[in-house]
Structure 1
Amino acid sequence: MPLELLRLLRPHQWVKNGFVFVGLLFSDVGDDWKLRGSVLVAAAGFCLMSSCVYALNDVLDREADRAHPLKRKRPLASGTVSMGQAYALALVCGTAGLALGAAASAIVVAILLAYLALNLAYSAGLKNIAILDVFIIAAGFMLRIFAGTWGVNIVPSYWLLLCGLLLTVFLGFAKRRAELMASDGNGSDGAGQRAVLYDYSPALLDTMMAISAAGVIVSYSLYSVSPDTIALHRTDKLIYTLPFVLYGLFRYIFLVHRRGGEDPAWTLLGDAHMLVVVALWLGVTLWLIR
C-alpha cells in the first residue's frame, strides 16, 4: 500500500519543477544564499502541490483511466488506493505545499493556489478544448518559472520568459502528438482516448510543434546575444550553448515519433541522449556565466 500511495504522488514528475530554478540560473544573485534557499523551498512547495494535483486528477479521471490500456494500472483506476485515501493524501500534500510556499513568500503561495485552480479547471473540462488545453499545460510550467523569479524577488528577462513560454507550448503539443500516436497504435479503438484528440490531426500537431520549436530556437538565440544578457553575465559566449538546445529539441521530436513523449518526465529521465544533452547544456551554461 505505501508503494501505491507513492505511485499516486508521481514523484518522477517532480523533474518538471526544475523550471522553478530557471530564474536563479540566469540571474546574478551573487552569494545571496537566503534567496537561493527561497527558490529551493518554492520548488519543494511545487513538488508537493503538483502531487496534490495528480491525486485529485486521478480521482476525477478514474473511470476514463479504467478504459485506457496504460492508465488503468494507476492506483485509483486499478482499485489499489481508495478515493478516501487519495483525498487525504491530496489534502496533506496541498497543505504542506502551501506551508512551504509561505516560507518562501506570499507571492509563491498565490502562485501555488493559481496552479491548483488552473489544474482543477483543466481536469473539470478545459482539457477538452483544443489549443486551450495545451496553453493551460504551458501555463502550469510558466507558473513554476514565476515562482522562481517574481515569487522570490528575481526580475526575469522577458526574452527568457518568451523562450520558456514557447518551450512549454512545444512540450504541450508534443505530448498531444505522442498521445495521438499511442491511441492509433494501441488497438483499443479509441477506448480511454482523450476527447480533445479527435480535434487534432498528425499534420496539425506536427505544424504546431515545428512553429513552437522554431520560436524556442529564435528566442533563445536572441536572448543569448542580447546586450542585457551579455552585460549581466559578463560574457558573449552563451550563444555557444545553442547546439545543445538544438539537439535536445530534435531528439525530443525524434522520440515523439518513436512513440515517446506522452509523459515528458519519463521521456527525459528514460533517454540517455536527453539526460546527457541537458547535463552538458547545464554544465556549459554554468561554466560560462559563473
Structure 2
Amino acid sequence: MTERGAVLLDRPERPGRPGHPLPQGAGRLPAGLLRTARPRQWVKNVLVAAAPAAAGELDSRHNLAQLLVVFTLFTAAASAVYLVNDARDAAADRAHPVKCRRPVAAGEVPAAVAYAVGALLAVLAVTGAAALCNTMTGALLTAYLSMQLAYCVWLKHVLVVDMAVVTTGFLLRAMIGGVALGIPLSRWFLITTGFGALFMVAAKRYSEAVQLADGGGATRALLTEYTTGYLRFVWQLAAGVAVLGYCLWALETGGCPASAPCAGGSLLPWRQLSVIAFILAVLRYAVFADRGTAGEPEDVVLRDRPLAVIGLVWAAMYACAVAGL
C-alpha cells in the first residue's frame, strides 16, 4: 500500500456520514430537555382559558391570540419548575425504580444545564407576561414560580401544605387568563376551581397511598405521613364544596354570564342545566379516585370515554348559555 493510501486510510472519519453514526450521546440533550419539561403535563395549562370561557369572552381573535400567548408563557414557567425540580432531585431519582429514567437522573441532561435552562425559561416567562399582557399577569406568574420553587425545595415535605401549593398552582392557571384579558373573576368561579383542583390533587395522593399500602412503593416520602382515610375525607370534602360552588355560580346570574348575549333570555336555562353534567363528571371521576387509580389525572381525563362525553355535553350546554340559544 502506498504511503498516500496509508495517509488516506488513517484520516479520521467525520461522524454522521453514511456508515459512521453519530456518537451515542449526540442529539440527546435537546430531546432530554424536552422530556424533562413534561409535554404531557402541558394539557393542564389549557385552564388559562377557563375564566374567559366562563365569561363568554372567547368570541374574538384578539382574545384567542392573547390566550395563546398566556398558554405559552405559563407552559414555559411550568417547564422551568420541572427542570429545576429534576435537577435538584437527580440523586434521589437515581435510586427510584421509575424516576431513574428521567433524563437528568439518567445522565442525558447535566444538572447544571437543567438549572440554566429552567432559570432562562422562568425569566422569559415573567418578562414576557409583563410586556405582552399586563403587570398583574407577570405578578401571578412570579407568584406561581415562587410557590412551585419553594415546593421543590421545602414545601413538598410539609403535611397538608403540599396539597395546598399544588392546588394553588391549578387555581393560578384558571385565574391568569381572566387577569390577562381584564375579566372580573366571580367568587363562585374561584371556589369551584379551587376545590375542584383540591379534589383531583387529594384523589391523586389517595391513589398513591393505596398503591403504597398494596406494596407498590411510595412515589413521595410524605405519603407515609398521610392515612388513606384522611385523604379520602379530603377529596370527598373538596368534591362536595366544588359541586356546591358550581351550583351557586350557575344560579347567581339567572343562568347566563352577565356579559354574554343570553343576558336577555334564552329558551332553556342552559347554565343551570349544566349542573347535571358537572355533577356527573365529578361522580365519574370519583369512581377512579375510590378505586385508587386516579394517580395521573391527565390520563383519567383524556382516556376515559364516558368522562370525555360528559365533558363535551357540559361544554355544549355552557356554550348554549353563552350564545343565548
Give the TM-score taking structure 2 as reference length.
Answer: 0.81
Partner of residue 285 from structure 2, selected from 252, 260, 271: 252
Instruction: State the 1:171 CA deviation.
Output: 1.5
Alpha-carbon contact 2:178-2:185 (below 8 Å) kept? yes
- Percent identity reads 28
Instruction: State the 1:167 CA deviation.
Output: 0.6
Alignment deviations for residues 197-243 of structure 1 (CA, whole Å, 9 cap, x no partner): 12211111111111110111111011111136536143532121123
Give runs of aligned pairs for residues 142-221 of structure 1, distance below 5 A: 142-188=171-217, 190=218, 193-221=219-247
Alpha-carbon contact 2:257-2:322 (below 8 Å) kept? no
Give the superposed CA RMSD. Answer: 2.1
Give runs of aligned pairs for residues 1-290 of structure 1, distance below 5 A: 1=28, 2-29=30-57, 32-101=60-129, 102-188=131-217, 190=218, 193-227=219-253, 230=256, 232=258, 233=260, 234=263, 235=266, 236-290=269-323
The verdict on how the C-alpha distance between 1:257 and 1:81 changes in structure 2, with shifts beyond 3 A counting, is farther
Question: Structure 1 unaligned runs (5+)?
Answer: none
Counterpart secondary structure, 2:239: helix
Partner of 2:18: none
Instruction: State the 1:30 CA deviation.
Output: 7.6
Q: Which amino acid aligns with 1:11?
A: P
Alpha-carbon contact 1:76-1:82 (below 8 Å) kept? yes
2:309 and 2:128 mapped to 1: Cα distance?
A: 31
The verdict on how the C-alpha distance between 1:31 and 1:242 changes in structure 2, with shifts beyond 3 A counting, is closer
Runs ≥4 residues deviating over 6 A: none
Q: Which amino acid aligns with 2:165?
A: I
Q: Which amino acid aligns with 2:245?
A: S
Instruction: State the 1:62 CA deviation.
Output: 2.0
Question: Structure 2 unaligned runs (5+)?
Answer: 1-27
1:183 and 1:207 mapped to 2: Cα distance?
A: 18
Give the TM-score taking structure 1 as reference length.
Answer: 0.90
Q: Which amino acid aligns with 1:7?
A: R
1:63 and 1:229 mapped to 2: Cα distance?
A: 53
Task: Give the greater-gyration-radius structure (CA).
Answer: 2
Aligned length: 287
